[in-house]
Structure 1
Amino acid sequence: MESTQDKWALVTGENRGIGFAIAQGLLAKGYSIIITSRSFDNAKLAVQKLQAKVISIELDVTNDRSIDEAVKTLHQKIARLDVLINNAGVYPDTNVNILTINHELLDSTMNANTFGAIRMVQAFLPLLEKSPEEPSY
């Protein structure tokens, strides 16, 4: 397990794009990072690019079992979580708008963008509460 001095940040969907940039910013501020991706291979690639104190885990915020496994894994590796940023999400903008989106696509979007973030806070709250810093959800 890591030193109790380490500050840990988990950003969902950080293997590319905005999430990756957030991870870089947190690293610059002295945080150790937990890289998450629905694909473990993608998470490992992001770790190689960052070359810092990073843990990579597979995590799909739309899947309760995936969230539970991520919590179990992190409980074995870190003593606390200082920052949780819910960045993972989907944007179904190909040939649809609010008037034409079908129920299945709307359901999967809400599951990822809304319910996934809520489940993440619920699941990781015990690790966040161990942080001496003010909680960052």
Structure 2
Amino acid sequence: MTKTSRTALVTGGNRGIGRAIVEGLAREGFVVYLGARSWAQGATAAAGLAGDVRPVQLDVTSQDDIAAAVTRVEHDFGHLDVLVNNAGVNVGNRRPLDRLPKPTEETAEDMRFVYEVNVFAVVTLINAFLPLIRAAEAGRIVNVTSKRGSLGEEGAWVGQPSLSYSSSKTALNAVTAHFARELADTSIKINGAAPGHVATEFNNFRGTRTPEQGAAVAIRLATLGSDGPTGQVYEDDVRLAW
């Protein structure tokens, strides 16, 4: 067990924005646990990255996977400096879509599917890893959200946002604020990172930003100093109104 190593865990770390976050944190000198739904995907992604990157099977909806990941980090280091909740889904991950559905075309089952990953799993992961984050000198939690989750930010509702996805990110922003309030008297900081419209598999590569550009805000929030903010949502260096 090495107490002095800086450690991080990134969910959904095998591709897209998550992989770029893993790469950036490893470049900063962190030992990074790359979470992926399958061991094979995680191992393949980790093998292509420089630094100390360790794959871990982590389906964020699996209590067994979460418990095993906690046990592994606890055994290896006894603390976790950074938790990045990056894994996310949209309605299109549940059923084939040729366009974003209108609210009247989405179902309660669609919302349950999306919320299970985008909201409920985040709460479960934070609570599961919190003892290890408390054991770190200055823990950081970053929840990857979206400008689509804002109810007050200009431009957030351009076009037809998905009811399930957008509202799940609104809920995630509220989750971030509630945890930040409880942890305000500790050295732990928790913030939301909105990566912008990034070209990934998630949106059939329709985005205008690279994964590295989208990951930058999460990496910055993961490495905040003691005077940094908590309970906020940022896109790049801009604090969003949500």
TM-score with structure 1 setting the length = 0.90
Match of 1:32 in 2: 31
CA contact (8 A) 1:62 1:111 kept: yes
Question: Relative contact order, CA 8 A, sep 6+: which one is greater?
Answer: 1
Question: Could you tell me how far apart the structure 1 residues matched to 2:46 and 2:27 are?
Answer: 15
Match of 1:49 in 2: 48
Match of 2:122 in 1: 117
Match of 2:60 in 1: 61
Match of 1:104 in 2: 109
CA contact (8 A) 2:59 2:66 kept: yes
Kindly state the Cα deviation for residue 136 of structure 1 after the two structures are TM-superposed.
Answer: 4.4
Match of 1:130 in 2: 135
CA contact (8 A) 2:29 2:51 kept: no
Runs of 4+ aligned structure 1 residues displaced above 4 Å come to none
Question: Could you tell me how far apart the structure 2 residues matched to 1:25 and 1:99 are?
Answer: 40
Question: Could you tell me how far apart the structure 1 residues matched to 2:81 and 2:51 are?
Answer: 17
The sequence identity of aligned pairs, in percent, is 33
CA contact (8 A) 1:83 1:135 kept: no
Kindly state the Cα deviation for residue 7 of structure 1 after the two structures are TM-superposed.
Answer: 0.2
Q: How many residues of Structure 1 are paired with residues of Structure 2 in the alignment?
A: 136
Kindly state the Cα deviation for residue 20 of structure 1 after the two structures are TM-superposed.
Answer: 0.6
Q: Secondary structure at the match of 1:99?
A: helix
Match of 1:14 in 2: 13
Match of 1:88 in 2: 87
Question: Could you tell me how far apart the structure 1 residues matched to 2:102 and 2:17 are?
Answer: 23
Match of 2:22 in 1: 23
CA contact (8 A) 2:26 2:53 kept: no
CA contact (8 A) 1:40 1:57 kept: yes
Residue-by-residue CA offset, 1:62-108 (whole Å, 9 max, x unaligned): 12222112212222222210001100010224243432122222211
CA contact (8 A) 1:82 1:135 kept: no
Residue-by-residue CA offset, 1:17-50 (whole Å, 9 max, x unaligned): 0001111111121111000001110110111011
CA RMSD of aligned residues (A): 1.5
Question: Could you tell me how far apart the structure 2 residues matched to 1:55 and 1:97 are?
Answer: 40
Whichever residue aligns with residue 32 of structure 1, its letter is V
Question: Could you tell me how far apart the structure 1 residues matched to 2:122 and 2:79 are?
Answer: 19
Q: Secondary structure at the match of 1:84?
A: strand
